[in-house]
Chains A and B, each alone.
Chain A
Amino acid sequence: MKKTVCVRYFAILRDQRGLGEERVPTGASTASELYAELRLRHGFTLPEERLRVAINDEFESWDSEIEDGDALVFIPPVAGG
């Protein structure tokens, strides 16, 4: 079933997407499927294994189901400190 989620982009993903946030209508049922869909569409260079995913501001697993209205962030390799 089609749903709409909000995706925010940081760092290299924001550069590659060219924007910081968008609403995405999708048929994907998991976070993993959604990233695969977006990677294909926008040519993101980082594979899923190099990223983590957050749903509604909490780290979640890639096989987490996504629901209409969820806010997702794909987290590139971090470099704080």
Chain B
Amino acid sequence: MDFQLTDLPIDPSRLMAGPGDPQAGAFVTFEGRVRSENEGRSVKTLDYEAYAKLAQKEGARIMSEARERFPITGARCVHRTGSLALGDIAVWIEVSAAHRAAAFEACRFLIDEMKARLPIWKREHYADGVTEWINCATRGPGAGQKMK
């Protein structure tokens, strides 16, 4: 499956296949990691919760869209669920293509769309003991609004 949810730590060295296709002259990977600060608050840990069945479908749709929009030879994405510590990989993306422009653009498209559309929620636990569901309390666009 080219899109996958996992509750286990993401280890790129085990995932990275590299471009098996000899046509693929460009190979781009992206790692989204848990960072220690969000909007001025000190983050200790966070949890990702997924509506797994729909996230799986929507993730697969986004992968198909990337293949239609960009001349790439392959793409994969893995997204974490469960509890993560600082520095842990939350999302991992790999794209291969004949040329670098398509590989970079498709990778950017994939991470942007995954962030905007997957039914996955993030709860941050702060150093001061407070806990918050990101985007749920502050003003912002609705859930899963498609990006241009």
Contacts and interface: CB of A to CB of B under 8 A. Distances in A.
B interface SS class: mixed
A80 B51 CA distance: 11
Contact of A78 (B32, B120, B123): B120
A74 B50 CA distance: 13
Interface residues of A, number: 23
Residue of A8, A15, A51, A80 with highest tally of chain B CB at under 10 A = A80
Interface of A: 8, 10-12, 15, 45-46, 49-52, 54, 57-59, 73, 75-81
Contacts, number: 93
Interface residues of B, number: 34
Nearest to A11: B121
Contact of A77 (B50, B90, B143): B143
A11 B117 CA distance: 15
A57 B53 contact: yes
A80 B58 CA distance: 12
B49 A78 contact: no
